[in-house]
A and B are shown apart, each in its own frame.
Chain A
Amino acid sequence: MSNPRWQTPAALRRIARRNAAERRFRLLGLGAIALSLGFLALLLVIMAKNGLSGLNWSFLSGSDSTDPHMAGVWGAAKGSLLTMLVTIAIAFPMGVLAALYLEEFAPRTRWIEWVEVSINNLAAVPSIIFGLLGLAVFINTAGLPRSSPLVGGLTLALMTMPVIVISGRNAIKAVPPSIRDAALAVGASKVQTVFHHVLPLALPGILTGTIIGMARALGETAPLLMIGMRAFVATPPGGLTDPSSVLPMQIFLWSDQIDTAFVENTSAAIIVLLMFLMAMNGLAIYLRNKFEVRW
Chain B
Amino acid sequence: MILSAVLLAVLALGLAGWTFARNKARLLYAGRGSMHSMPVYHGWHFALWIVLPGLLAWGVWSVAMPTLVNGSILADPAAAALPADDMQRAAILSEARAIAADPSVFAFDPLSARLADPIRVAEGKWGTIGALLVLICALAGGAHAWTRVRAGFPARTRVERVVMAVLLVVSLMAILTTVGIIGSLVFEAGLFFKDVSPLAFLTGTHWSPANAHGGDISANFGAVPLFWGTIYIGAIIAMFVAIPLGLMSAIYLTQYATRRVRGWFKPLLEILAGVPTVVYGYFAALTVAPKVRDFAAWIGMNNPSTESALAAGLVMGVMIIPFVSSMADDSLAAVPRSMSDGSLALGATRSETIKKVLLPAALPGIVAGVMLAISRAIGETMIVVMAAGASANLSANPFASMTTVTYQIVQMLTGDQEFNNPKTLSAFALGLVLFVVTLILNIIALRVVKRFREAYE
Contacts and interface: CB of A to CB of B under 8 A. Distances in A.
A214 B256 CA distance: 34
B63 to A, nearest CB: 12
Interface of A: 18-19, 21-22, 24-26, 28-33, 35-37, 39-40, 42-43, 46-47, 94, 97-98, 100-102, 105-106, 111-112, 114-115, 118-122, 124-130, 132-133, 135-137, 140, 158, 161-162, 165, 189-191, 215-216, 218-222, 225-226, 228, 230, 248-249, 251-252, 255, 263, 266, 270, 273-274, 277, 281
B435 A124 contact: no
Contacts of B352: 18, 21-22
Given A32-B249, A222-B277, A132 B427 contact: yes
A36 B409 contact: no
Interface stretch (B105-113, B192-200, B374-382): B374-382
Interface in B276-299: 276-283, 285-287
B333 to A, nearest CB: 16
B278 A221 contact: yes
A281 B274 contact: yes
A251 B375 contact: no
A226 B413 contact: yes
Given A125-B438, A161-B173, A29 B279 contact: no
B381 A127 contact: yes
B163 A270 contact: no
A36 B171 contact: no
Give the contact-size bracket for chain B: 35 or more
Contact of B276 (A26, A100, A221): A221
Nearest to B184: A136
Interface in B148-177: 156, 160, 163-164, 166-168, 170-175, 177
A31 B438 CA distance: 32
A132 B286 contact: no
Contacts of A140: 419
Contacts of A128: 379, 381, 406, 409-410, 431, 434
Contacts of B277: 219-222
**Closest CB pairs A-B (n = 7):** A126-B379, A29-B252, A219-B276, A32-B248, A136-B184, A25-B351, A222-B381
A30 B184 contact: no
A29 to B, nearest CB: 3
27 contacts: A18-B352, A21-B352, A32-B246, A32-B247, A36-B272, A40-B271, A43-B279, A43-B283, A46-B286, A47-B279, A101-B170, A115-B172, A124-B438, A126-B406, A126-B434, A127-B379, A128-B406, A129-B434, A130-B181, A136-B188, A219-B279, A221-B278, A225-B385, A248-B278, A252-B282, A252-B386, A274-B279
Most chain B CB neighbours (cut-off 10 Å) among A35, A119, A124, A263 = A124
A128 B430 CA distance: 11
A28 to B, nearest CB: 6
Nearest to B187: A136
B175 A129 contact: no
B279 A270 contact: yes
B363 interface: no
Contacts of A225: 381, 385, 410, 413-414
A274 B275 contact: yes
Contact of A36 (B275, B318, B376): B318
Given A26-B256, A136-B184, A225-B414, A32 B173 contact: no
B13 interface: no
Nearest to A219: B276
